[in-house]
Amino acid sequence: MQRLAKNTEILLESYETYGLVNPAGEANLPSKKSVEGIVRELGELVFPGFGEMEGLDTDSLSLVITERVNNAARNLVREVEKSVAFSIRKERGGDLKNWKGCHAAAALLVDDFFDELPAIRNILRLDVEAAFRGDPASKSTEEVILAYPGLEAIMVHRLAHFFWTREVPLIPRMMSELVHSKTGIDIHPGAKIGGSFFIDHGTGVVVGETCVIGLNVKLYQGVTLGALSVRKEDAVKKRHPTIEDNVTIYSGATILGGDTVIGRDSVIGGNVWITESVPAGSRVYIHGRDQIVKGAR
């Protein structure tokens, strides 16, 4: 016990030396457990009835959805308020736990989010249809919603991206990392992704913060849309590629750089390494030891 007491004392000293403590008496940080619950609640609003033991009763659908919206909104306001307070505290210093402006700002953000949720549902409808069309193994759109990790990752990204665009700290990254840990698909909430987006299989896919993806793009497992530079001073620059409309990128392909553009209607083969733009309609693939770029058909 004497040895344990000494180790405890050293541990406490490290708190003083290195920090990294979320102390009592200040506005608390967003809760990982609460954010996880919010993601689940929002998923039930985006695809109602798919997480139920039994189907929803259409006669009571309005009542059920109203209750769920109100519950999700309350939980979101609470966690966004913490996030707003954290942001202001980092900028200005001081304890803002009781500053009422944080609550008002959070409530306005959450109202804006629910204004946008029907449009998010609509774009996710296109993503579901793209997965159903793009995978011969899929038997129904219901199967896509229930069983496809790529669709789950895209759904959470579209929810998190809203909060990222409103400059809400912490929560968008927490949402993205929750689904990353579950699916193995890492999409930064800052990435701009068009509709009819499909990730097949999904494991190991990485989409960077400043990536821009057009309409009707399909990625396979192990694709990396990353940065050439990881210097901190480049954080505000566009570091990740642009993928134009109707592009398919096969497994293991790596595409890097903020100036790299994959032209529309291109097909990128498996395991290629691209750091320069390719024109529209290109075919890029490995043949023997060479990487071949064929122009538009």
Alpha-carbon distance of 149 to 126, in angstroms, equals 16
Element of type H or E holding 146:
helix 141-147
pLDDT in tens, 180-212: 999 999 999 999 999 999 999 999 999 999 999
Of these ranges, 11-25, 227-241, 265-279, the one predicted with the greatest mean pLDDT is 265-279
Closest among 180, 27, 150 to 90, alpha carbons compared = 27
Q: Between 51 and 242, whose confidence is greater? A: 242
Give how many domains the chain has, as a whole number. 2
pLDDT number for residue 192: 98
Return the pLDDT at 27: 67
Parent domain of 78: 24-184
User: Residue 35 corresponds to which tokens in the numbers above?
Assistant: 């954010």
Residue 10 lies in a domain: no
Q: Give the mean pLDDT of 167-190.
A: 97
pLDDT at 26: 63
Do residues 173 and 228 both lie within one domain? Answer: no
pLDDT of residue 212: 98
AA identity, residue 51: G
* DSSP conformation letters of 157-224: HHHHHHHHHTT--SHHHHHHHHHHHHHS-EE-TT-EE-SS-EESS-TT-EE-TT-EE-SS-EE-TT-E
pLDDT tens, position by position, 270-297: 999 999 999 999 999 888 877 888 876 5
Based on the domain organization, do 111 and 253 belong to the same domain?
Answer: no
Q: List the CATH number of the domain containing 268.
A: 2.160.10.10
Highest-scoring range by mean pLDDT, 21-35, 127-141, 230-244: 127-141
9: in domain: no
pLDDT at 96 over 60: no
35 and 133 fall within a common domain: yes
pLDDT at 297: 55
pLDDT at 25: 62
Last residue of a domain, one of 134, 153, 184: 184
Q: What is the pTM of this model?
A: 0.92
Please give the single-letter amino acid code of residue 81.
E
